[in-house]
Chain A
Amino acid sequence: MTQLQDVKGGTRAPLTPWKKKKKKEEVFPGVRSLNGRWGHLFVAPFMIMFLIFGLAPVIYSVYISFFRWDPLGGSEFSGLRNFSLLLADSDFWLAIRNTFSIWALSTFPQMLMAIGLAVILRNTRLKGKSFWRTILLVPNITSVIAITIVFGQLFGRDFGIINGILDFFGLNRHIDFIEGVIPSHIAIATMITWRWVGYNTLIFLASMLAIPDELFESASVDGATKWQQFRFVTLPQLKNTITFVLIVGTIGGLQVFAEPQQLAADGGSSKQFLTLTLFLYNQAFVNNKYGYAAAIGIMITFIVLIISTINFFITRKISNDGTR
C-alpha cells in the first residue's frame, strides 16, 4: 500500500522499496530493441479481464464478509459478527476436522507413493519409460464426478468390491464407508489419491531428472546403498518440489467439494464428511447467507497462507539438516 502511494506522490522518497525494485528492473531479460510501449496494450486484455473476474470478486468478498448479506432481502453492516459466529459454530470446527483428516489421509500416502514411483521411473535402464509415464496421467484426466460414482460403488457396504476383498482375507467386517467417520475420510482420500498420485509422480520425476547422473555414480562408487543414495543425493534436491507439491496439495485439499457432496449433499448423517468448501457452498447457495459464507472463504484463505508458511520453513529445515 505505501508503495503505491509513493508512486502516486511522485519521486519524493528516494529510498523506498519501490525505488529498489525499479532499479532491479534495469536488469531486464527481454528484448531491448523492441518498443516497450506495446507492452501495456498487450497485457491490457488479460489485466482487465483478470481484474474484473479474478481480483474484484476477491476484494468484494472481504467487503461482504462484514455484512449480514441476504441476496433476497437487504444487507446490513454487522462488523466482525460473521467471524465471531463462525468461530462459535460447531459445524465450522467439524468441517476443519474433516478437511484436515481427508487432507492428511490423501497427501502423505500420495507423497510417499509419488516419490517412490518417481525413483523407479528415474532409472535410466527402465524399459517402456514413455508408456509408464503416460499411463500414470490417465486418472488425472477423469472427472471428479465419474470417479465418485465408480468409487462410491467400489466402496459400497454390501456389494462393493473393496469390502469383498477384505472379506476374502477374512476381515469380515462390512465396513460402512459412508456412515463411518474415518472410513468415509479414507474413501474420499482414496479418490483424491487415485486422481493425483500419477501427476505428482511426474512432477517429482521432472525434478529428479534434473539431478546429474554423476552424483549417483560417485555415491555408488563410494559404496552408498540405494537407500543412502536416495537419502543423501535425491531427497535434498527435492526440497523445492516437496514444498511445491505440499502447497498445491493444501490448496487442493481445502477445495475438496464434489466427492463429499456426491456422497451426501449435507456432508453425511452426522456431517462426518462436511468439508470447508462444501460448508461454504451450502451456506452461500443453499442457505443464502452470503456474508457468512464469505467469512468462511476468508478463513480458508488464512489457513492456506499459514500452512504454506509452515511448509516452507519445515522443508527448508529438513533439507538443511539433510545436506549436513
Chain B
Amino acid sequence: MKTKTPRWRKTSPLSYFLLATITFLSIFPFYWMFVVSSNTNAEISKSPPSLIPGGRFLIVAKKVMSAEGVFFSNALLNTFIVGIAIALAQVMFSAVAGFAFAKLNFRGRKSFILFVVGTMMLPSQLGIIPLFMLVKNLRLIDSLLGLIVPALVTAFGVFWMRQIIDAQIPNELLEAASIDGASVPRIFISIVLPIIRQSSFVLGLFAFLAAWNDYLWPTIILQSPRHFTLQVALTQLKPMYGLDYALQMGGAFLATAPLLILFIFVGRRLVSGVMDGAVKG
C-alpha cells in the first residue's frame, strides 16, 4: 500500500489514452481537409474512402486561387490587413484606457468600469442593425474600413488590460517614478508599456484571430468579391461549383494554414493567455 507516489497523484494509462483520443479528434479535421483536397471526388466517395493524402493538392490550390469571381489571394491580403489593423488598434486603445482604469484616480472611474463590464453581458447582435445603418451613413459599406472601424475598441480588451496592469505593475514603481518628476504620459510610455509588452502581444493575437475568423459582420457589409475576407470568400467556393468537395476543402485548408503556422509559434502563449483570463476559484 505504501508507494512513493501518493495515490491521488497517480496517472493511469487511461488518462493518456483519453488525451491521445482528444488529440486525434482535434487534429483529424485538418488532416481530413488535406486528404479530401488532394484526392479526386471518386477516391473520397468510395467506401471506405481513401484516408491518405493524394497528389492533387497543388492542382486544387491553383484552382482555388484562380477560381472565377472569388479572388482568393485578394481575400488573403484583405484578411491580413483587417486583422493586423484591428489587433494594433485594440492593443493601443485598451492599454491606454486599461492603465487609467487600473492606476489613475479620476472622477467617475469606478462607474465607468462597472458600465463597461455591464455592457459585456449584452449579446453583440443586439446593436447590429443600427451599426449597419451607421456604417452605411459613414459610407464605409463594402470597404475594409467598415470592418476595422467598429472593431477598434472592445469592452473585453479594456477590461483585460486593466486586470493585467493591475496585476503586473506594482504601485510603488509608479509612485517612485512620479516622485522623480515623471509625468503620467511619460510613465505610461517608459514604464508601463515595456512591462505589459508580452500581454499586449497576447491580446493582439486574440484580436487578430477573432478578426480573421469573423463571418457575421463581413457578410453583412461586404458586397463586391474583391473586398471579401477569407471567410466570406470561402462561402463563395460552394454554390458556384456544386458539390466539389476538393475545391471547398482546399479553400478551407488554405484559409486555415496561416493560422496553424502562426499557432506553432504562439500556441503556448495563447494557452497562458486563456488561463490567465480565467476566473479563479
Contact = CB atoms under 8 A, between A and B. Distances in A.
A42 B96 contact: yes
B152 A49 contact: yes
Interface stretch (A77-85, A88-96, A102-110, A119-127): A119-127
Interface stretch (B15-23, B53-61, B64-72, B193-201): B15-23
B164 interface: no
A270 to B, nearest CB: 21
Interface in B211-262: 212-213, 215-216, 220, 230-231, 234-235, 238, 245, 248-249, 251-253, 255-256, 259-260
Interface string A277-290: 10011001100001
B134 interface: yes
Contacts of A1: none
Contact of B127 (A21, A61, A138): A61
Interface string A54-82: 11111011001000000100000000000
Interface stretch (A8-16, A175-183, A212-220): A212-220
Nearest to B153: A49
B125 A255 contact: yes
A43 B18 contact: no
Given A25-B110, A53-B131, A202 B155 contact: no
B123 A300 contact: yes
A217 B18 CA distance: 25
Interface residues of B, number: 108
A151 B248 CA distance: 12
Contacts of A251: 121, 123
A206 B280 contact: yes
B97 to A, nearest CB: 4
B190 interface: no
Contact of A58 (B104, B122, B268): B122
A147 B268 contact: no
A320 interface: no
B174 A125 contact: no
Interface in A119-153: 120-121, 123-127, 130, 132-139, 141-147, 149-151, 153
A164 interface: yes
B187 to A, nearest CB: 7
A304 B110 CA distance: 25
A198 interface: yes
Contact of A42 (B104, B116, B127): B104
B3 interface: no
Contacts of B168: none
Given A124-B9, A262-B235, A42 B100 contact: yes
A142 B256 contact: yes
A301 B5 CA distance: 51
Interface string B112-142: 1000100101111111111111100000000
A207 B280 contact: yes
A244 interface: yes
B160 interface: no
B153 to A, nearest CB: 4
A240 B185 contact: no
Contact of A132 (B6, B19, B150): B19
Interface residues of A, number: 112
Given A25-B110, A125-B5, A138 B27 contact: yes
A143 B153 contact: no
B100 A43 contact: yes
Contact of B130 (A34, A56, A141): A56
Contact of B102 (A30, A52, A117, A143): A30
A208 B256 CA distance: 32
Contacts of B213: 141-144
A39 interface: yes
B279 interface: yes
Contact of A134 (B166, B253, B267): B267
A242 to B, nearest CB: 10
Nearest to A128: B19
A37 interface: yes
Contacts of A207: 278-281
Contacts of B131: 53, 57
Contacts of B49: 159, 161, 164
A3 B75 CA distance: 49
Contacts of A205: 275
B91 to A, nearest CB: 12
Contacts of B158: 46
Given A53-B131, A125-B11, A262-B238, 5 more contacts: A43-B106, A46-B94, A123-B11, A149-B249, A149-B251
Among all A-B residue pairs, the 4 with the closest Cβ atoms = A39-B106, A57-B127, A42-B100, A206-B278
27 contacts: A25-B109, A30-B171, A31-B104, A31-B171, A43-B106, A45-B93, A53-B131, A53-B134, A54-B119, A116-B18, A130-B271, A137-B271, A145-B235, A149-B234, A149-B238, A150-B249, A150-B252, A153-B245, A159-B49, A164-B47, A203-B274, A203-B279, A207-B281, A240-B281, A258-B216, A281-B216, A290-B133
